[in-house]
Amino acid sequence: MHTFSRPCSSWGLYKELYIDNVDLSNPLQRAERLGTGWMGVIVELEGVLVDYDARRVSDQAWQHLAEEEGRPPLPLWALRKAEGMKNEQVIQEVFEWAWNRAEVARLSRRLEELYATCLQQAQPYVLPETLEALRMLHEQGVPVAQVCAGPPGRAALLMGHALAADGALGPVTSAADVLRGLPDPAAYLAAAASIGRPPARCVVLCAGNLAIEAAREAGAKAVAVSERRPLYELRAADKVVRSLAELSFMDYKRLFSPDDTAALVPELNPLELEARHRDQEGPWP
């Protein structure tokens, strides 16, 4: 994942969470940041960019692993609880198979091998509507990041199906870049940082309620694509569509209101004011 250098102070990090940047001397640049067109897009690899029955593939991989390890078949409730989580979380916290790091890593690697086999059988393909939407956003100068719930190997496997969209794609955030999986918002926060946009100016294109919850927790807008689910199941999103072909660039801009920026413009920190005065006037007596 592409990362940005950490700010030199907590105030620098504080400012990066806001839309406005009080350090910009060019008023046109500040006006651009405050406009509704200044945004970033975060797209889920599974189910939004690359279409396949991710739930079924994941269930099959876990059941095959349980069989290989001589364990009883996994109950449905446990598989549902495991959705969106990192492999290590599932192994230790949900199934409670192992806690030794080496053993957990071995099980996780084997799971990914089984997942790759099941994925190939599922015949995944890139959704043409998503492809066109990403190209349109790229032409409008909107940076795009991808998020994958699995480790880098799975992300690379899925990205291999999206080579046709290479010019419109950006950095990938995988499970290796975060401590916990969905519904923790860490992946979306990392993805927003990778494209240089505050979470409040990002649109998450997702396909499930866990992703919607994480997007809202991160402060981003959520657009749910209901390719495989009824529309009413995803009503918690800011917008629900059958396909991204239903959205124009103006539809993305309308997710944001100019009035939203009023609460997102940082006030000058007293410590920052003191530092600025010191730089301009010299040390205080």
> Which pLDDT tens digit goes with each residue over 253-264?
999 876 554 444
For 166-184, what is the mean pLDDT?
A: 90
d(CA 16, CA 5): 12
The reported pLDDT for the residue numbered 165 is 57
The reported pLDDT for the residue numbered 92 is 98
Nearest by Cα to 180 from 220, 224, 214? 214
- The tokens of 214 are what? 């994480």
> Per residue in 212-250, pLDDT tens?
999 999 999 999 998 788 888 999 999 999 999 999 999
Single pTM value for the model: 0.81
Cα separation values, 277 from 21, 23, 194, 283, Å: 19, 14, 33, 9
